[in-house]
Structures are given as C-alpha cells and as structure tokens.
A and B are shown apart, each in its own frame.
Chain A
C-alpha cells in the first residue's frame, strides 16, 4: 500500500541552526501539507502546497519557514533559524485532490525535531 515517508525520524539541532525536513508524498498525490504537534498538544496546520506553490499557510508559518518541491518526488520543510519552541513532531501529509472523493489526507510517520 502506498505511504508517505519522512526523513529523518529524529533530528537534534542547536538553536539558531537551519534544518530541512524531508518527505516523499504518495506518488499520484497532488496536494502536500506540513503539520506540527508540540508534545501533548493538538496537531496544527502549517502549510499546504499545490502546483509548486503555497496554497494556504497558518500564522505559525512565518518567514523562518519555507517549503519546496525540489524534484518530482520530494517535498521539504526548511526552518531557517530554529528556536526552542520549534521542538515538535512534524508531519507531512498528502492527498490526491480536493474533492469529496479525493480529499483524504494521509500522514507520514513524522520527524521529531529537538532544538537544544
């Protein structure tokens, strides 16, 4: 069964460093998403991406965040200068489309980001 994959599973970084989280969405999917979940809190939407551009972004997704689809398979989230409060689980998700029959989002296993 096709699945979303993410690497690395765990990333430890120093405050102020740049990190890149990687995702490979399901191959025939067209919409891609990043969510985060701080320990013990809700899953929060960060950004959606379609046709090589951002469709929606939340207030969390400020100038230190960026997303990119550098090739036909990878989808990346970059955090330019990490802060302690960026420590969270980051989930990538994808969906085939945005109609009732295709809008189900499938989540990857997540990358746990720890900022020291």
Chain B
C-alpha cells in the first residue's frame, strides 16, 4: 500500500512569517512530487512540482525533496492571510496520484 503522510494541522503562522509544510511517502520508486492547495469546497490547485533532490523555488514557494529520506516539504515565505488553505502533497504512483490528507494552514493577520 503506497502511503503519503502529512500532519493534519492546523499550522498557524503570523502574517509575513515562513510556513513549513512536510510530507513523507512510502514508495521509494516514486519519481514526481506535487504540492496542491485546496480551499474549502474547491478543487486542488497546483502550486508546484519537483522531480530532483534539492530545492526548487517559484516566487514565495520553495519545494524541497530528499529521496533518501522519502521526504518532501513546501516552504511559503512572507505568508499572507490568502495562503490560508489546506495544502496537499501528492506523489505519482504510476499514472495516478496518491494524496496525503493535507495540512491546514492558517495565516493570522
């Protein structure tokens, strides 16, 4: 059974702070890793993807991948109240995505 685990939160950070979201996965053969944002009652919205070990930056977002530790993280710099949402980690499992349960982020003004 391929598993993707996330702390459900809520993770509460003040506006302007860095939010750090973490994800672990069980399938060592996974190649592609995705972060989606989901607002309540809405569909998952892609934030970014990462394939290679190390960091990948896109604006205020940085994804980090460590395949040896089977660990993916997402850093959000200068967090804004509009970033308040559930962040879903997803791992490719061969022509399908396996999702974690999501971490709820609350950014307080």
Report if A100-B32 is in contact (Cβ < 8 Å); known contacts: A43-B99, A45-B98, A48-B96: yes
Count of interface residues, chain A, beta-carbon cutoff 8 Å = 25
Contact B43 A107 (CB under 8 A): yes
Residue on A nearest B98 in the bound complex, by CB: A45
Contact B43 A33 (CB under 8 A): no
Report if A104-B34 is in contact (Cβ < 8 Å); known contacts: A45-B96, A45-B98, A56-B94: yes
Is B95 in the interface zone, CB < 8 Å from A?
yes
Count of interface residues, chain B, beta-carbon cutoff 8 Å = 24
Is B65 in the interface zone, CB < 8 Å from A?
no
Report if A56-B96 is in contact (Cβ < 8 Å); known contacts: A42-B102, A104-B49: yes
Is A75 in the interface zone, CB < 8 Å from B?
no
Q: Mark B24-60, 1 if CB is under 8 A from A, else 0.
A: 0000000110101000001111100101000000000
Is B97 in the interface zone, CB < 8 Å from A?
yes
With a CB–CB cut-off of 8 A, which chain B residues contact A50? Answer: 95
Contact A91 B51 (CB under 8 A): no
With a CB–CB cut-off of 8 A, which chain B residues contact A44? Answer: 99
With a CB–CB cut-off of 8 A, which chain A residues contact B93? Answer: 45
| 4-63 of chain A: CB within 8 A of chain B | 31, 33, 35, 41-45, 48, 50, 55-56, 58
**B-binding residues in A (CB < 8 A):** 31, 33, 35, 41-45, 48, 50, 55-56, 58, 89, 91, 98, 100, 103-110
